[in-house]
Amino acid sequence: MEEKEFSIDIMGILYLLKRNIALIIITAIIFGVLGFLGTKFLITPQYASSATMIVSNKVNTAENNTINSSDMQAAQGLVKTYGIIVKSDKVLEQVIYSLGIDETVESLNQKIKVEAVDQTQVMKITYLDPDPQKAELVISKITEIAPPIIVESVGAGNCSVLSNAKVTENPVSPNVKKNSILALFGGVVLSSLFVIAKEFINNTVKSEEDISEKLGLPVLGVIPKIGGK
Closest CA to 180 of 74, 30, 48: 30
Q: Can you say whether the dihedral through the CA atoms of 9, 12, 16, 21 is positive or negative?
A: positive
pLDDT at 68 over 60: no
pLDDT at 212 over 80: no
Q: What angle do CA 125, 128, 133 make, to 5 degrees?
A: 100
pLDDT at 141 over 90: yes
Least confident of 5-14, 40-49, 158-167: 5-14
CA–CA separation, 71 and 54 (whole Å): 13
What pTM value is reported for the model?
0.67
- Name the residue with higher pLDDT: 57 or 101: 101
Which band of pLDDT confidence, cut at 50, 70 and 90, is reported for residue 169?
Answer: confident
pLDDT at 4 over 50: no
Closest CA to 111 of 72, 148, 138, 143: 138
pLDDT at 6 over 50: no
- Helical H segments across the chain, by residue range: 10-19, 21-42, 69-86, 89-99, 105-110, 132-154, 176-200, 208-215
pLDDT at 13 over 60: yes
